[in-house]
Structure 1
Amino acid sequence: MTSSTAISPDEMLKKCQAWEEQQAFREIVDALSDYPAIGASKQLLKMFVVTAIAIKDEAALSSDVTALAVAMLPDSASFTLIKNIDRPPFRDIAAKLVLSKNVNRQSPLYMQQLKRCVKDRDPSKLSRQLRKAIAEASKGGNAIRPEASGYDFPERPANYTLGTVDIMASSTTDQRHFERLQADTEIFAARLNAPRDFKVHEYRNVFIDNIGQIWNEDGAIIESRGHEIPNVSRYSVPNLDIGFNLVTKTRGLYHFLVDRISLLGWMINNPRVACIPVLTNAHAPAFERELLELASLEGPDVHAIESVVFVERLLVATGGFAAMAGWKHVAPVMDRIVTMAHEIAYEEGIDLPSKIYISRSLAKRRVMENEEQVHEAMEERGVAVLHFENLPIWQQIAIASNAQTIIAPHGAGLAHLITAIRPATVVEILPISDAAYVLRWNYARVSQLRGHSYTAWLEEQPNPLSDRWSTNLDEFLPFLDAKLGLKASTTA
Structure 2
Amino acid sequence: MGWPQLVKPRPHYIVAMPMGRVWGENGAVISPDNKLIWDASHEIMTKPHEHSLFSQQKLPPVTFIPENLAVLTHMEGYSYYFWMFDVLARIELLRRNDIQIDRYVFTSMTRAFQEETLLRLGVTCEKQIICDNHTHIQGLELIVTPLVADTGMTPKWVCEFLREEFLEKPGIKPSRDFKRIYVSRGDAKRRQVKNEQDVMDYLKRYGFDCVLLDGLSVAEQAQIFFSAEVVIAPHGAALTNLVFSKPGTKVIELFSPLWLRHTYCIISQHFDLDYSRLIGIGHGSSVILSSPLSDIQIALEADITVNIGQLAKQLRAAGVH
Q: TM-score range by the shorter chain?
A: 0.7 to 0.9
Which residues in structure 2 correspond to 1:109-188 (within 5 Å)?
Answer: 188=7
Q: Give 1:253's aligned amino acid.
A: Y
Amino acid of the structure 1 residue aligned with 2:276: T
**Aligned CA-pair RMSD:** 3.4
Give the counterpart letter for 2:17 in structure 1. Y
Q: Which of 287, 291, 296 matches 2:122?
A: 296
Q: Secondary structure at the match of 1:388?
A: coil
Residue pairs, 1:127-276, within 5 angstroms: 188=7, 191=8, 198-209=12-23, 210-216=25-31, 219-223=34-38, 224=41, 225=43, 226-228=51-53, 231-234=59-62, 237-250=63-76, 252-268=79-95, 272-273=98-99, 275-276=101-102
Q: Which residues of 2 match residues 27-38 of structure 1 at below 5 A? A: none
1:337–1:297: structure 2 CA closer, same or farther, 3 Å change rule?
farther
Following TM superposition, by how much is the alpha carbon of 1:389 offset from its aligned partner in structure 2, in angstroms?
A: 1.6
- Can you list the C-alpha shifts for 1:244-277, whole angstroms capped at 9, x where unaligned? 221111252111112322222234477x445432
Q: Which amino acid aligns with 1:311?
A: G
Aligned counterpart, 2:290: none
**1:372 correspondence with 2:197:** yes
2:266 to 439, 445, 456: 445
Question: Cα distance 1:275–1:222, how it changes in 2: closer, same or farther (>3 A)?
Answer: closer
Asked whether the 8 Å contact 1:324–1:449 carries over to 2, the reply is no
* TM-score when normalising by structure 2: 0.75
C-alpha contact 1:360 1:367 (8 A) present in aligned 2: yes
Contact 2:154 2:263 in 1 (8 A): no
Aligned partner of 1:285 among 107, 111, 130: 111
**Does structure 2 retain, via aligned residues, the 8 Å contact 1:244–1:314?**
yes
> Which residue in 2 is equivalent to 1:316?
144
- Give the aligned residue type for 2:181: I
- In the alignment, the residues of structure 2 paired with residue 319 and residue 281 of structure 1 have an alpha-carbon distance, to the nearest angstrom, of 14
1:411 aligns with 2:236: yes
Q: Say if 1:460 and 1:311 are closer, same or farther in 2 by CA, change over 3 A.
A: farther
2-structure distance, mates of 1:336, 1:402: 17
Q: Give 1:238 deviation, angstroms.
A: 4.8
TM-score of the superposition, structure 1-length normalised?
0.51
Q: Which has the higher contact order (CA 8 A, sep 6+)?
A: 2
Matched, 1:401 2:226: yes
- Which aligned pairs between 1:337-356 and structure 2 lie closer than 5 A? 337-339=166-168, 352-356=177-181
Compared CA separation, residues 432 and 403, structure 1 to 2 (3 A): same
Deviations 1:118-164 (A, max 9, x none): x8xxxxxxxxxxxxxxxxxxxxxxxxxxxxxxxxxxxxxxxxxxxxx
Secondary structure of the corresponding residue to residue 297 of structure 1:
coil
Shift of 1:408: 0.5
Give the superposition deviation at 1:212. Answer: 2.5
Q: CA deviation at 1:354?
A: 2.7
Deviations 1:379-426 (A, max 9, x none): 221122101124233312221234232211112211212333334321
Q: 2:257 aligns with which of 418, 432, 451?
A: 432
Could you say if the C-alpha distance between residues 318 and 227 of structure 1 is closer, same or farther in structure 2, counting changes exceeding 3 Å?
A: closer
Secondary structure at 2:318 match in 1: helix
281 and 240 in structure 1: CA distance in 2 versus 1, 3 angstrom threshold: farther
Per the alignment, residue 89 of structure 1 pairs with none
| Aligned sequence identity (%) | 18
Paired letter, 2:89: S
Distance apart, 1:342 and its partner CA? 5.4
Q: Counterpart of 1:255 in structure 2: which amino acid?
A: F
Q: How big is the shift at 1:291?
A: 2.2
Contiguous gaps of at least 5 residues in structure 2: 44-50, 285-294
**Which structure: larger Rg?**
1
Equivalent AA in structure 2 for residue 338 of structure 1: L
Contact 2:195-2:305 at 8 Å conserved across structures: yes
**Residue of structure 2 in register with 1:383 after alignment:** 208
SS at match of 1:399: helix
CA distance change for structure 1 residues 424 and 395 in 2, over 3 Å: closer, same or farther?
A: same
Residues 19-73 of structure 1: per-residue CA shift (max 9 Å, x gap) = xxxxxxxxxxxxxxxxxxxxxxxxxxxxxxxxxxxxxxxxxxxxxxxxxxxxxxx
**Distance change in 2, residues 1:326/1:470 (3 Å):** closer
- From the superposition, tell whether residues 293 and 402 of structure 1 become closer, same or farther in structure 2 (CA, over 3 Å): farther
Q: For residue 265 of structure 2, what is the amino acid of its counterpart? A: A
Native 8 Å contact 2:166 2:218 kept in 1: no
d(CA) in 2 for partners of 1:281 and 1:351?
38
Aligned-pair CA distance for 1:427: 0.8
Q: How many residues align?
A: 288
Paired with 1:432 and 1:371, the residues of 2 have a C-alpha distance of 17
In 2, the alpha carbon distance for the partners of 1:377 and 1:412 equals 24
Distance 1:284 1:208 in 2: 20
* 1:284 Cα deviation after fit: 4.4
State the match for 1:13 in structure 2: none
Amino acid in structure 1 at the alignment position of 2:15: H
- Contact 1:295/1:337 (<8 A) preserved: no
After superposition, residues 95-106 of structure 1 pair within 5 angstroms as none
1:358 Cα offset (Å):
0.7
Give the corresponding residue for 2:289: none
Describe the shift of the 1:405–1:200 C-alpha distance in structure 2 as closer, same or farther (beyond 3 A): same
Alpha carbons 1:279, 1:305 under 8 Å: kept = yes
Match in the other structure for 1:67:
none
